[in-house]
């Protein structure tokens, strides 16, 4: 994709109006600016990869100082991203290529987004295998999309394919891939830690866990089975009972497993807040 050079005569048409159809990134630059000359080829290269999703526009501030000033340009290079006629984000300076890619990835919708949304809807309806089929289609459009990756892991867990889910989590961690939604990744990792447990007879485990005196090993097995099935509150109750009965059991496994369950739940969950308070009260 070739960048479009604009002036005051066509800025409104090429940038403001056109940004209602596709995001427009405007590079405010000048020929005398060294960092501008460094940034320009990077923007050209990245914009070519985003062809169809982004329009790259360049405005020479030497030729159009008033237009640059009217858009709040105080230093160059300055890049402003227009969507629906408004500046939604910007950066100043010759950023590293990785930072520019992150900037655009956060601001631009992935071409896979509609299919990922459809997959999430199928997941909500309980059809994990159909969701995975949609995600396969999405993969062909944008294999690097973070939402696609995390939704696939979630779908694999729902489909009881924990080994594959753990493999994807391991690949992401092994490649040191930086995920913007780290909270969601941590929650899925916590779910995967329990989903790998073999199927268990909950009724039998519940009877064993209810034994008196307290059988910490039985309660731990019951808690892990409950968590594997998504019954996190009941799992926390069993784990708290382990901490209350024998803090040293299994090298403090009761408390440690509670922390893993906390990670699988939203941080502002009432359940998390209540059990954090109860755990803190026991430890003090």
Dump pLDDT digits (tens) for 36-47.
999 999 999 988
- Which of 6, 15, 26, 33 is flagged as catalytic? 33
Can you give the pLDDT at residue 103?
87
- Residue 110: which pLDDT band, with cuts at 50, 70 and 90? confident
Arithmetic mean of pLDDT over the chain: 89
Res. 135: pLDDT tops 90: yes
Average pLDDT score over residue span 125-136: 95
Is residue 200 over pLDDT 80?
no
Query: pLDDT tier at 75 (50, 70, 90 boundaries)?
Result: very high
List pLDDT tens digits, range 220-270.
999 998 988 889 999 999 999 999 999 899 999 999 999 999 988 887 899
Lowest mean pLDDT among 51-65, 162-176, 256-270: 162-176
Mean pLDDT value across residues 74-91: 93
- Quote the pLDDT of residue 115: 93
Q: Which listed residue (36, 149, 193, 240) is catalytic?
A: 36
The length of the chain, given as a count of residues = 284
Share of residues in the chain with pLDDT > 90 (%): 61
Give residue 199's pLDDT band: very low, low, confident or very high (50, 70, 90). low
Least confident of 51-65, 91-105, 180-194: 180-194
79 has catalytic annotation:
no
Question: What pLDDT does residue 174 have?
Answer: 56
Please report the pLDDT score of residue 25 as a whole number.
Answer: 95
Q: How confident is the model at residue 51 (pLDDT cuts 50, 70, 90)?
A: confident
- In this prediction, residue 38 carries a pLDDT of 94
**Structure confidence at residue 179 as a pLDDT band (50, 70, 90):** low
Q: Is 36 a catalytic residue?
A: yes
Please report the domains of the chain, with CATH numbers, ordered by start residue.
4-107 (3.40.30.10), 113-195 (1.25.40), 202-283 (1.25.40.10)
**What is the reported pTM?**
0.61
Write down the pLDDT at residue 243: 95
Across residues 109-122, what is the average pLDDT? 89
Of 6-20, 80-94, 180-194, the poorest mean pLDDT is in: 180-194
pLDDT band at 197 (very low <50, low <70, confident <90, very high): low
Residue 196 scores a pLDDT above 70: no
C-alpha to C-alpha distances, 163 to 166, 222, 263, nearest whole angstrom: 5, 21, 20
The mean pLDDT value for 2-29 works out to 93
| CA-to-CA dists, residue 278 to 101, 219, 271, 281, angstroms | 44, 18, 11, 5
């Amino acid at each position: 994709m070739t960048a479009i050079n604009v002036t005051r005569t066509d800025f409104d048409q090429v940038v403001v109006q056109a940004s209602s159809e596709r995001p427009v990134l405007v590079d405010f630059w000048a020929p005398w600016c060294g960092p501008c000359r460094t940034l320009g080829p990077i923007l050209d290269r990245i914009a070519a990869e985003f062809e169809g999703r982004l329009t790259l526009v360049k405005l020479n501030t030497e030729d159009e100082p008033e237009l640059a000033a009217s858009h709040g340009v105080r230093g160059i290079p300055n890049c402003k991203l227009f969507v629906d006629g408004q500046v939604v984000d910007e950066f100043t300076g010759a950023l590293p290529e990785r930072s520019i890619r992150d900037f655009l990835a956060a601001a631009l919708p992935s071409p896979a987004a509609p299919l990922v949304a459809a997959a999430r809807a199928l997941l909500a309806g309980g059809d994990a295998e159909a969701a995975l089929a949609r995600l396969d289609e999405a993969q062909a459009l944008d294999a690097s999309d973070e939402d696609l990756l995390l939704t696939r892991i979630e779908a694999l867990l729902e489909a009881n394919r924990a080994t594959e889910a753990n493999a994807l989590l391991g690949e992401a961690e092994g490649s040191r891939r930086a995920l913007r939604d780290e909270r969601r990744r941590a929650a899925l990792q916590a779910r995967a830690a329990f989903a790998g447990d073999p199927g268990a007879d909950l009724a039998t485990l519940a009877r064993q866990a209810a034994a008196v005196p307290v059988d910490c090993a039985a309660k731990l097995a019951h808690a892990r089975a409950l968590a594997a099935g998504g019954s996190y509150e009941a799992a926390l109750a069993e784990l708290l009972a382990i901490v209350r009965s024998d803090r040293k059991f299994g090298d403090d496994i009761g408390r440690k497993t509670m922390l893993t369950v906390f990670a699988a739940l939203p941080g502002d969950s009432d359940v998390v807040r209540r059990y954090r308070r109860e755990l803190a009260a026991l430890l003090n």
